[in-house]
Amino acid sequence: MIGALARSLERLYRWPGLLLGFAALFWAGNTVAARLAIDEISPLTLTALRWVMVAAALWPAYGREVRRHWPQIRPRLGLIVLLALLGMTGFNALYYVAAHYTSAINIGILQGAMPIFVLAGAYLAHGSRAGLVQQLGVLVTALGVAVVATRGAPQSILEMEFNYGDLVMLAACVLYALYTVALRDRPNMPGVAFFALLALIAAITSLPLVAFEVAAGTFRLPTAQGLAITLWIAVFPSFLSQIFYLRGVDLIGPGRAGVFVNLVPVFAAVLAVGLIREPFAPYHAVALILVLGGIWLAQRKARMPEAARKAPPNGP
């Protein structure tokens, strides 16, 4: 039986489409998990416990590899700490806070706009210019984000108050875009080992967030369900998605693999409606079409910095 399971896993590891599809599905599932975690564990504690679990699982396997690359790591240690703060600690803290104020569908759609933030960041940081088609893609995706943020009435943008959770999620996307652009200067080392190092730093830097929750009186001791949700997040969106995505990149290259990330907002909407019965309004469909269409346009001949394209993703 064990041999049959091993053979099945080996066959799965040869199917890039299936691996990348599962990675996107698990990342989308994080939107639902974030909503289910409300009242079960406080958001900053969830962030810290997530990375403590991931670091505890990865470091025994990859700590030696990290130490072997210490000569490359040491000169860039400040940058690496900043990367962990932006893309892991900061992004996930804002992500789980946003889930308290907006829907999983909104989180998924807004997260789908992240490639546009990355394109803008690459232009500002490295002068990577976008063509007319890419610029059109940015505008179309921005319109999709506006549709979500204004609940389908972008013409009233000057007359209404934005949903706090949507604004927090947009701030999280900005942090992740900065993280992705900064990956250009990361050390030359295996992706999984680098991810293990980032996870360890994220675990350490997220502990003060728990102290902040205690001091602010918002700390919530995890319930049994809260711990189960955190464990699921640590195993599936945090670990297996990374491994599956990296394997998919190895099999078909970063350009083709990156397209599968566009499935995250679609899966997020399906899971939110199917699992936690969130209402799917017509403006959600419009926003999905705009965001995915904008990303498709923006990817036409767009080139990401080489290190960013090869780097391990930090999915949601």
The answer to whether residues 9 and 298 touch, using CB atoms and an 8 Å cutoff, is no
pLDDT of residue 306: 46
Using one digit for the tens of pLDDT, what is the confidence trace for 263-287? 788 888 888 888 988 888 787 888 7
- pLDDT-wise least confident of 87-101, 112-126, 186-200: 112-126
Domain boundaries, the chain: 18-310
The length of the chain is: 316
pLDDT at 121 over 60: yes
**pLDDT band for position 305 (50/70/90)?**
very low
pLDDT of residue 310: 46
The better pLDDT of the pair 179, 49 is held by 49
pTM of the model: 0.83
pLDDT of residue 309: 47
The better pLDDT of the pair 118, 312 is held by 118
